[in-house]
Amino acid sequence: MRRLALALILALSFVLSAAGLTLAQPAPQFQLGFATLAGLIPDVVGQPVANEQFNPQTGQSIQPTTRGLMVWRKADNATAFTDGATTWILGPGGLEQRPNGTLFAWERPVLEQAAAPTVSTPDSTLSSALQQLSSVPAGAQLVDAATQNRVLMTVERLPRTVLGAFLPQENVVILSSQLQSAPPKASADVLAHELQHATDLATIGGPQTPAQCYNFEQRAFFKQAQVWDQLWGGNLPPSSNPLYAELNDVATTVANNPDAFVAELVQRYRSECGPLP
């Protein structure tokens, strides 16, 4: 089984070339608050792989790095960096660090008042993915839950090896702009993984222990496998491209050998979730 780089912006250990940039264009740089935070924890943040992008729908700016994702929130003017398991944030008391899925006391009032709007899908990639999800029972449940929990979905440029992400503090699901050229069913399956994270956060809360972190990922991968199987009516497609091959691999392994899948998941997510007791 090969790991699909999804979830809570986990598994952000990658090297990305400046795809789409010409030689005449300058390399990406950190600016303003992102530069300040990167200067405080340079070894944690790594180097920028794209320039900062502001999304008026989410009210935030993001910037992918070689080690994770920079985020600026308009709601409270907070600048943060996440590597998938931990968030470093510049708050009223300076630089603070907390596990993903949790909030500092000073964050809660602002973010609760600035609750995310209802599902927004101006992008055709998202529209097609949601249409596909809604056509199967497991996917329709996720879409209904996302609407009820006011999850915002958007398409952004993410690091090359990351196809989707869920930002729990902002209640935002991000699909990579790479999926704009992918078949809608593949985009729908990536979306299913991230929406399962959003659903779990709303119903059972974020992971607080290594065991909960692994379970959080396991639930998302198992839902992804279920949705992929339903999208194809139980007859998975040929592995005609790397994305199909990876989605087929996850679905097949989950169906035929779930214990082996979980065992490998624990090995691959050890750096993000931590060792089990």
Count of positions (residues) in the chain: 277
Are 196 and 226 contacting, i.e. CB atoms less than 8 angstroms apart?
no
Rounded Cα gap, residues 142 and 154, in angstroms: 16
**Which residue intervals of the chain are DSSP H helices?**
32-40, 42-45, 108-113, 124-134, 137-148, 184-204, 210-231, 242-256, 258-268, 270-273
User: CA 215, 218, 223, 228: dihedral to nearest 10 degrees?
Assistant: 170
Strands 152-156 and 172-176, how do they pair? parallel
pLDDT at 245 over 80: yes
CB 59 within 8 A of CB 247: no
Structure tokens of 242? Answer: 């790397």
Q: Is the distance from CB of 90 to CB of 17 less than 8 angstroms? A: no
* pLDDT in the model for residue 136: 94
Please give the residue that has the higher pLDDT: either 259 or 118.
259
- Distance separating alpha carbons of residues 148 and 171, to the nearest angstrom: 12
pLDDT score for 84: 67
Rounded Cα distance between 136 and 129, Å, is: 12
Q: pLDDT digits over 184-203, tens only?
A: 999 999 999 999 999 998 88
pLDDT recorded at residue 59:
67
What is the predicted pLDDT for the residue at 108? 67
Residue 255 reports pLDDT greater than 90: yes
Q: How far apart are CA 120 and CA 136, in angstroms?
A: 20
Residue 229: its pLDDT value, please?
96
Is 98 a residue whose pLDDT tops 60? yes
For the record, the structure tokens of 54 come out as 């502001």
> How large is the average pLDDT for residues 108-112?
61
Dihedral (CA of 13, 176, 227, 1) sign:
negative
pLDDT value of position 13: 28
**Residue 70 near residue 81, CB atoms below 8 Å:** yes
Which sign, positive or negative, has the C-alpha torsion 229, 233, 234, 237? negative
CA distance 58 to 120: 10
pLDDT-derived band at 57 (thresholds 50, 70, 90) equals low
List beta partners, residue 81.
70, 88
Q: Residue 152 carries which side chain, given as an amino acid letter?
A: L
